[in-house]
Chain A
Amino acid sequence: MKFIGLLLTCALGLFAGETILIRDADVYPVTGPEMKSASILIQDGKIADIAVKIVPPKGARIIEAKGMRVYPGMIDSATELGLSEVEAVRETVDTGEIGEFMPQLKALVAVNPDSEFFGVVRVNGITSAMTFPSSGGRGGGGGGFGGGERQLIAGQAALIHTDGWTWEDMAVKRSAGMSIMFPSMGGGGRRGGVPDNVVEILGQGGAANAAANQRRQYEEQIAKLSEFFENARRYQKAKSANAPGFQVDLKFEAMLPVLEGKVPVTVSAPHASTIHDAIQWAKKQNVKLVVLQPREIGKEGAELKAENVPVIFGRVLALPETEDSAYDQSFTLPAEAYKAGVKFAFGTFGNEFSRDIPYQAATAVAFGLPYEEALKALTINPAQIWGVSDQVGSVEKGKLADLIVTDGDPLTEQTHIKHLYIHGREVSLENKQTRLYERYMSRNQ
């Protein structure tokens, strides 16, 4: 009976029970100093022990890792993984729903576990990712496909593992962020935004009316957004007071964790002015905030730090914003944030770049970010930002065994991931691409 149970567990892929000993590796816990030639015991999906010598328990599978390194699995803090497959083919894209206020939408339930992207990102050591209903990346964006009015709330982003049989199985945190398309002067987004100095010039010149129009639209949208939050708060009160005639409203229901401070709102804020506005707005609404994809930090560094607002950087390997921005503008941004004391993590905002997130981090190192901080921004920082640092983000006893075993520094292109564990399961590093490689390398006719 017990044997059948074990078989069944295996068949379901729930290898949580497997005991694995990774032996004699150099361990980089991220939260503590490097440990030379140490061993890690994985039991019940978790890190059961880390020590120089561990006697393997009976039945443990032993991975000889002499000369290899162990790091926590990396986290990409902004993707559309599982939601968007072939960006140019609408039928394969599930980001960018229609509707102005859509907090009830859950990215998690539309995650396709068989997306080819998962196998591909695992090869480079990414074990979890935030997947957004609309990350503002290329895969749609707020109402990008739907048309109609501008979307203000896109829905709930989920933190998922990059392996699992079902989305349920993959969830690390079902609702880790509420994606808000925060209004901005001149429109947010990647290249549409108008830098402050240009707005300044426009405002002084003949185009003053255009600026005034923008300002009016912006204020209208902020008012709309704030009103929605006020209504959600009224709903919260009515619910807790058990008011007569109270009726469930799925939109407001979805807002409760945000109002209770359990889930942060995420806001794409490319420019200093939007960062400032978002911080002030979140403060007024008394909600937690995560700033996404800033293209400048500047004097907002102090405010971000003072208000304890973390930042998710978009691709470091990105073009400067304007013609006369420094060529290395986006390369130096993480170092600037670090110097200002801002907490940050990296995201790629587009699935096809996700596998390159370690190299994005390396670029930040080349341009002034301390190496250890780059590693943290791929591991423990995002774990803290998304509220799961008790589970993932470092090699520590008691955490989920999300680990990578490598033959070198995972931030360099030359390094191979040799083994990868998600929740204690060893996950194959094969994918469609490696299979095509094998198949066509062997073509002789």
Chain B
Amino acid sequence: MRKLIIAGLLALAPLCAETIVIRNATIMTVTKGTIKGSIVVKDGKIAEVGEKVMEPQGATVIDASNQYVIPGIIDCHSHIAVDGGVNEGSVSVSSMVNIKDVINPEDIAIYRALAGGVTTANILHGSANSIGGQTLVLKMRWGKDADDMIFQGAKPGIKFALGENPKRAGNPAGGRGAGTPVQARYPATRMGVEDTIREAFTEAKAYKAEWDDYKAKAARGERAIPPRKDLKLEALKEVLEGDRYVHAHCYRADEILMLLRVADDYGFKIRTLQHVLEGYKVAKEIAAHGAGASTFSDWFNYKMEAVDAIPYNAAIMTKKGVTVSLNSDDAELMRHLNSEAGKAMKYGGMSETEALAMVTLNPAKQLGIDNRVGSIEVGKDADLVIYDKFPLNDFAKVQKVLIDGHKYFDRDEEVSSRPGKEAEKQKLIEKEKQAQPRTQGGRGGRG
């Protein structure tokens, strides 16, 4: 039954790129101010933006009078579309596992995220391990298979985690998910987390040296035997070589600073600090390292390491020179990142554009895809969201979402298709009932 309903939703997915004109909208470009005008979309890209545009003949026209257009929202921290568990919790260094292997393109959370204006998301493992698995950037191309959802050209990443979560499995009295004394897993403290990361990179450096040595010899035409490939260290070698971004889950200032120093020592960069709730305390150090910060708007106090979380975090870090994004880490929050961004205007006085950038351009920069997405500019992917009202608060409702110039969500179509889907569902339920033998006098069933 579930499959059939999903198949029904798939039927809504677009087939081919068309030329589209979005007319008479208030366009919040992020990089070039807010204008009243039109957008021309051709071959999946933004072809023209302006108060007056040349409308190509035969273009599909979307009249967006009194409506707002923003760049597709980018969520720098999500766990949707993952088939099954998000933590490979048996070891604290699990850099060999890859989220790419477990993408579920039929996760309904993808469609819901779309309906909340999200077009791109960074999909990560959970935070049980000091060094987690390999991450992936997806476009929310609902209806496509897993491979077609991948944001081609986006650099892959790896999840790190500091603080309470990675040390929990080592602490026999550590509350939720704690290990027993017999099974306790190193590390159990923040000290151990630092050491775990250092040990891993010490190994990775040696591994890289072996490979560098081999390659040098091969280049000189000398006989050499290639080192044995180690999938765990391969991912860390990529980090050392700058070919894989580090996205590090962290809360407290001490652990943030610790990771920056470990990275400095081993000569790699932390691309983003995730959650980074006390980032405001070490904003200067974060900016100096060049790490981005991807945080929550106003979550706090739900665990011990979140008691000093403040909603001004995003604003302080921005003012101190850090590129800041707001993420969801949650399939529900993901659906209203627009209003989460709006909170940055209240807490810390960010401008409209600065706030909007926190869920569009800034996460694009953090994921290294700002040449493709994150703002409304000619040549960028036509990932666009149309709202009925000013989009930075909860009075606004997503009307349409385009990815690569295809319409993937349309509220009017969604609402008008409901009676049909409901009828189909009832038919299927009826069929299911008929297909099952009637139970008799309580003797049926599995008992």
Interface residues of A (CB under 8 A from B): 85-90, 116-117, 120, 138, 197, 200-201, 204-210, 212, 317-320, 323-324, 326-328, 351-352, 355-356, 359-360, 362-363, 365-367, 411-416, 433-434, 436-437, 440-441, 443
A201/B284 in contact, CB under 8 A: no
Please provide the chain B residues from 401 to 447 with a CB less than 8 Å away from any CB of chain A in the complex: 414, 418, 421, 425, 429, 432-433, 436, 438-439, 442, 444-447
Q: Could you show 20 A-B contacts with beta carbons less than 8 Å apart?
A: A88-B175, A88-B303, A201-B429, A204-B436, A205-B445, A208-B442, A209-B444, A210-B445, A317-B332, A324-B5, A327-B112, A360-B394, A363-B336, A366-B396, A366-B397, A412-B394, A414-B393, A433-B311, A436-B308, A437-B280
In the bound complex, how far is the Cα of B339 from the Cα of A204, in angstroms?
44
In the bound complex, how far is the Cα of B315 from the Cα of A434, in angstroms?
12
In the bound complex, how far is the Cα of B176 from the Cα of A324, in angstroms?
31
Chain A residues positioned under 8 Å from B112 (CB to CB): 319-320, 327
Closest residue of chain A to B331 (Cβ to Cβ) is A319
The interface-forming segment of B58-66, B202-210, B254-262, B294-302 is B294-302
**Taking the complex as formed, is B319 at the interface, i.e. its CB lies under 8 A from any CB of chain A?**
yes
Known interface pairs A204-B433, A356-B298. Does A414 touch B442 (Cβ–Cβ under 8 Å)? no
Known interface pairs A204-B433, A206-B444, A352-B300. Does A433 touch B310 (Cβ–Cβ under 8 Å)? yes
**Taking the complex as formed, is B115 at the interface, i.e. its CB lies under 8 A from any CB of chain A?**
yes
Known A86-B302, A433-B311; further 4 A-B contacts with Cβ < 8 A: A206-B444, A326-B418, A436-B308, A440-B283
**Taking the complex as formed, is B281 at the interface, i.e. its CB lies under 8 A from any CB of chain A?**
yes
Q: Which of A317, A359, A443 contacts B393 (CB 8 A)?
A: A359
A89/B304 in contact, CB under 8 A: yes
A411/B395 in contact, CB under 8 A: yes
Known interface pairs A206-B444, A206-B445, A362-B395. Does A86 touch B301 (Cβ–Cβ under 8 Å)? yes
B281/A440 in contact, CB under 8 A: yes
Chain B residues positioned under 8 Å from A85 (CB to CB): 301
A208/B439 in contact, CB under 8 A: yes
B392/A324 in contact, CB under 8 A: no
Known interface pairs A197-B429, A443-B284. Does A437 touch B393 (Cβ–Cβ under 8 Å)? no
In the bound complex, how far is the Cα of B332 from the Cα of A207, in angstroms?
32
A-B contact count (CB 8 A): 150
**Taking the complex as formed, is B316 at the interface, i.e. its CB lies under 8 A from any CB of chain A?**
yes
Interface membership of chain B positions 1-33, coded 1 if the CB is closer than 8 angstroms to chain A and 0 otherwise? 010010000000000000000000000000000
A359/B394 in contact, CB under 8 A: yes
Q: Which of B345, B389, B436 contacts A413 (CB 8 A)?
A: B345
Chain B residues positioned under 8 Å from A212 (CB to CB): 442
Chain A residues positioned under 8 Å from B429 (CB to CB): 197, 200-201
Chain B residues positioned under 8 Å from A326 (CB to CB): 418
A359/B433 in contact, CB under 8 A: no
Chain A residues positioned under 8 Å from B425 (CB to CB): 324
Known interface pairs A327-B115, A327-B414, A413-B392. Does A208 touch B445 (Cβ–Cβ under 8 Å)? yes
Please provide the chain B residues from 275 to 314 with a CB less than 8 Å away from any CB of chain A in the complex: 280-281, 283-284, 298-304, 306-308, 310-312
Chain B residues positioned under 8 Å from A440 (CB to CB): 280-281, 283, 316
Chain B residues positioned under 8 Å from A208 (CB to CB): 439, 442, 444-445
A318/B310 in contact, CB under 8 A: no
Closest residue of chain B to A197 (Cβ to Cβ) is B429
Q: Which of B2, B298, B432 contacts A324 (CB 8 A)?
A: B2
Interface membership of chain B positions 315-350, coded 1 if the CB is closer than 8 angstroms to chain A and 0 otherwise? 010010000000000011101100100110110100
Chain B residues positioned under 8 Å from A367 (CB to CB): 397
Q: Which of A206, A355, A365, A366 contacts B436 (CB 8 A)?
A: A206
Chain A residues positioned under 8 Å from B342 (CB to CB): 412-414
Q: Which of A117, A366, A441 contacts B301 (CB 8 A)?
A: A117
**Taking the complex as formed, is B108 at the interface, i.e. its CB lies under 8 A from any CB of chain A?**
yes
Q: Which of B284, B300, B394 contacts A362 (CB 8 A)?
A: B394
**Taking the complex as formed, is B68 at the interface, i.e. its CB lies under 8 A from any CB of chain A?**
no
Closest residue of chain A to B394 (Cβ to Cβ) is A362
A325 CB to nearest B CB, Å: 9
In the bound complex, how far is the Cα of B365 from the Cα of A218, in angstroms?
54
**Taking the complex as formed, is B160 at the interface, i.e. its CB lies under 8 A from any CB of chain A?**
no
B444/A319 in contact, CB under 8 A: no
Please provide the chain B residues from 100 to 116 with a CB less than 8 Å away from any CB of chain A in the complex: 108, 111-112, 115
Known interface pairs A89-B303, A210-B445. Does A412 touch B393 (Cβ–Cβ under 8 Å)? yes
Closest residue of chain B to A115 (Cβ to Cβ) is B301
In the bound complex, how far is the Cα of B389 from the Cα of A318, in angstroms?
21
B301/A362 in contact, CB under 8 A: no
Q: Which of A87, A360, A416, A437 contacts B346 (CB 8 A)?
A: A416
Please provide the chain B residues from 341 to 393 with a CB less than 8 Å away from any CB of chain A in the complex: 342-343, 345-346, 348, 389, 392-393
B299/A352 in contact, CB under 8 A: yes
Closest residue of chain B to A84 (Cβ to Cβ) is B301
Chain A residues positioned under 8 Å from B176 (CB to CB): 88
Closest residue of chain A to B114 (Cβ to Cβ) is A327
Closest residue of chain A to B348 (Cβ to Cβ) is A437
Closest residue of chain B to A363 (Cβ to Cβ) is B394
Closest 6 CB pairs of A and B: A413-B342, A362-B394, A88-B303, A437-B312, A209-B445, A433-B310
Known interface pairs A197-B429, A208-B439, A413-B345. Does A436 touch B310 (Cβ–Cβ under 8 Å)? yes
Closest residue of chain B to A365 (Cβ to Cβ) is B395
A413/B346 in contact, CB under 8 A: yes
In the bound complex, how far is the Cα of B108 from the Cα of A323, in angstroms?
6
Closest residue of chain A to B302 (Cβ to Cβ) is A87
A441/B310 in contact, CB under 8 A: no
